[in-house]
Structure 1
C-alpha cells in the first residue's frame, strides 16, 4: 500500500524526492537477545535511517530487552534498551540473535512474543532470532530463512517447521533473514512494500549497496571459487544433504557420473583433499554448529552427524579442532550462565 505521493527529478546524477505528504510514523522495535549480531542489527537499521531523509522521518525505532539492563552484542559492545514490559504498540518487530540463541529465549520473552503476535504486528527475526519466534509458535505455516550454518541445529530443534534457503522471506505477516548483509536487502524490500521501489533504490544507492533480487535469492553454504570446484557442486550438495547418513564412494561417484578414481582426482585438484576428507570436514563442522546452537547431547550430535560410535566422533573432532566436543558444549553452557547473571 503506497505510503505517499511523490515525484522524482534527476539532477547531476542524483535524485531529489519531492515530498507531497506522509502518513504517521511507523513504530519499529528491535528485541535484542544476548550475543546478537551487531552487523545484522546495523544492516537492518541503517536503511531505515537513510530512508527517513526522503520520507519525512517515517520510521521510528527503539531497542528492546528483557529488562532495562544493556544487552551485549557478540562483538562485546553493550546496547542500552527499553524493558519489553514498558514497550507500547509496535508496527514491526525484529528479533535479533546470533550465537547460542536458545540461551536467550526465556519464558518471559516467549510469552511477550506470543502477545505481540496477537496484536497483528509484522513480526520477524534476523539470523538466529527465529529460535525465539519458533518457541512462541509464531512460525507455524511460514517459511523460515536462516543462515546456512545454523539450519541444522534449528531443524533438529523444530523439525515441524519448514526451512528456506533464501537470504530472506517476508510474507507480510512474518519475516526471517539469514543475517549479515542480507538484512539490508530485507529492509530495502520492506521499504519498497511500505512506500515504493524508487525510494528503496535511492536508499541502496546512498549506502553503495548493490541490491539482491527480491524474495527468492538463495544462499550458498560453500563458496565455489574455481570452475573445478563449481563442477563438483552436485556432489557437495549431496554431501550436505546426507550428513546423518553419509554416502559412500561409489554413490558419490555416481552423482558426478565418473569413476571413484576420477572423483578422487577431481577433489584433490579442486579442494586439495579427497572426497572422504572433505565429507568428514563438513560433518565435523555441522557437529560444531549443533554443539553451539542446539541442546543435543554430545552423543546425539555425533549420531546426527553420521558417526557410528561416540568414541570415533570424539577422536575425529579432537583431531580437527584440538579439543573434545564436550569442551565446546561446556563453553556455551558457561557463557549462558554468565549472561543470565549479567
Structure 2
C-alpha cells in the first residue's frame, strides 16, 4: 500500500511527464521528498523524471524539462506518478496507457498529480479506487468516467493508487506519505520548512468557500447559488429557487441585482455556460450532449447563448473547421 514503510531505502519515485504538464504539482511532489532527506540526514527517497520517449517535455508554462530517460528506464521497484496538465485527452499517449497496464499487473504503486488521473482512468487503473482531479476538470472527468469514485478532495490514497488534485495538493499528499512511512514528526518538520502548515486533510475542499468566491456572505443568496450549482443539468425555475429560499420572485430578483449586478436567470445561464466550456475542452462529448448536460434542450439555443457569451460557437471552441459544422 502506498504510504506503508518501504522494505528498503531509499524508496524510488519515478515521475512521468505528459506534454503540457503543470509544473507546480510536479515540483510539489518532489520537494517534500528532498527536504525529508535533508532533515532526516538520511537517503530516504530518490526520484527521477521520465517521458514516453525519453525526450525533453514542455510544461504548460513553456519551460522545456529534461528527463532521466524513457519508460523502460524506470526502475522496477519505483512508485510511478503521472504528471498531467493542459489538454490531457490530446496528450494521453497509447504507449503510456499500455505501459501503465503492464506495470500495474506487477503490483507497482501508481498515482498521479493534477490531470494525470485521466491517464490512469484511461488505463483502467482507477476502477474500484477512490480518486480525485482538479476541480476545473472534475465535471469532464465524471462525464467521461461515471463509474469511478471521484471525490473532488485535495488528494486520495487508496491501496496502491494515489491521486492529487493539482497545485499544492501534492505537498499534502507527499507529507501524508512521509508521515506514514517515517513518522508525523518528520512530516511536520518538512511542512514547516516549506512554510506549509498545517498539513491539510485529504477530504478538504479544493475550492474556496462560495462566499469567498463571490465576495458575498448573504446566507440566502449563497444558499440559492449552491442550489444552482447543484442543478446545472436540470435548471430550477426562478419561482422554485425563490420558494426554497422563502422569498418572492421579486425579492429574488432584487437580491441578485443588488449583490451580483445581474438577474438570477442571467447568473444561472453563466454558470451553465462555464460548465459547458469545461466539457467542450476536456471531454470528447458531442456538442449536443454537452448542451443537454448543461440544461439546454435545444442545440441551436445553446450555440446562440454560447456565442453571445464567449464570442465563438461551441464548434469554434473546439477548433472544428467550418466545413464540419453542419454535422
| TM-score for both structures, normalised by structure 2 | 0.89
Asked whether the equivalents of residues 9 and 43 of structure 2 are also in contact (C-alpha less than 8 Å), the reply is no
1:13 aligned partner: none
Which of 192, 198, 201 is 1:205 aligned to?
Answer: 192
Secondary structure of the corresponding residue to residue 176 of structure 1: strand
> Does structure 2 conserve the Cα–Cα contact (< 8 Å) formed by 1:37 and 1:75?
yes
Aligned Cα root-mean-square deviation (Å):
2.1
Q: 1:133 — aligned with what?
A: 120
8 Å CA contact 1:100–1:293 kept in 2: the answer is yes
Q: CA deviation at 1:147?
A: 1.5
Q: CA deviation at 1:327?
A: 2.0
Residue 47 of structure 2 corresponds to residue 58 of structure 1: no
Query: Per-residue displacement from partner, 1:72-119 (whole Å, max 9, x unpaired)?
Result: 111111112221122221432211112111112222111111122122
Match of 1:259 in 2: 248
Render the CA deviation track for 1:302-329: whole Å, top value 9, x for unaligned. Answer: 2221112222112211222122222221
Q: Give distance in 2, aligned partners of 1:321 and 1:127.
A: 26
Match of 2:325 in 1: none
**Which residue of 293, 306, 314 maps to 1:304?**
293
User: Is 1:68 aligned with 2:54?
Assistant: yes
Q: Name 2:10's counterpart in structure 1.
A: 25
Per-residue deviation, 1:23: 4.7
Q: CA deviation at 1:293?
A: 0.7
Secondary structure of the residue aligned to 1:267 is: helix
Q: Structure 1 residue aligned with 2:311, among 313, 322, 332?
A: 322
Question: Aligned with 2:319: secondary structure?
Answer: helix
Distance in 1 separating the partners of 2:272 and 2:4 = 48
C-alpha change, 1:164 and 1:202, in structure 2 (3 Å) is same
Unpaired runs of at least 5, structure 1: 5-21, 332-342
Please show how residues 176-191 of structure 1 align to structure 2 within 5 Å.
176-191=163-178
Deviation at 1:227, TM superposition (A): 4.9
Query: Offset of 1:229 from its aligned partner?
Result: 4.9
Q: Does 1:39 align with 2:24?
A: yes
Any idea what the Cα deviations from partners look like across 1:239-267, whole Å, max 9, x if unmatched?
22222211111222233232222222222
Mean Cα displacement is larger for which, 237-246 or 127-136?
237-246
* Residue of structure 1 equivalent to 2:263: 274
Relative to structure 1, is the Cα distance of residues 149 and 322 closer, same or farther in structure 2, using a 3 angstrom cutoff? same
Once the two structures are overlaid, the 10-residue window that deviates more, 282-291 or 259-268, is 259-268
Cα deviation for residue 140 of structure 1 reads 1.0
Provide the rounded CA distance (Å) in 1 between the counterparts of 2:253 and 2:203. Answer: 34
| TM-score relative to the length of structure 1 | 0.85
- Is the 2:9–2:44 Cα contact (8 Å) retained in structure 1? yes
Residues 136/254 of structure 1: CA separation in 2 closer, same or farther (3 Å cut)? same
Structure 2: unaligned runs, 5 residues or longer:
321-327
Residues 1:97 and 2:84 are matched in the alignment: yes
Question: In the alignment, is the contact (CA less than 8 A) between 1:145 and 1:163 conserved in 2?
Answer: yes
1:276-314 per-residue CA deviation (whole Å, 9 max, x = no partner) reads: 111111111111111111011222222221112222112
Give matches, 1:100-179, under 5 Å.
Answer: 100-179=87-166
Q: Classify 1:231/1:199 alpha carbon distance in 2 versus 1 (closer, same or farther; 3 Å).
A: farther
Q: Deviations 1:20-63 (Å, cap 9, x if unpaired)?
A: xx951010011111111111111111111111102312111111
Cα pair distance change 1:48/1:258, threshold 3 Å: same
Q: Is the 8 A contact 1:36 1:73 kept in 2?
A: yes
**Mapped partners of 1:194, 1:255: distance in 2:** 49
Deviation at 1:222, TM superposition (A): 6.3
Paired with 2:79 and 2:247, the residues of 1 have a C-alpha distance of: 52
Work out the CA distance in 2 between the residues paired with 1:42 and 1:251. 47
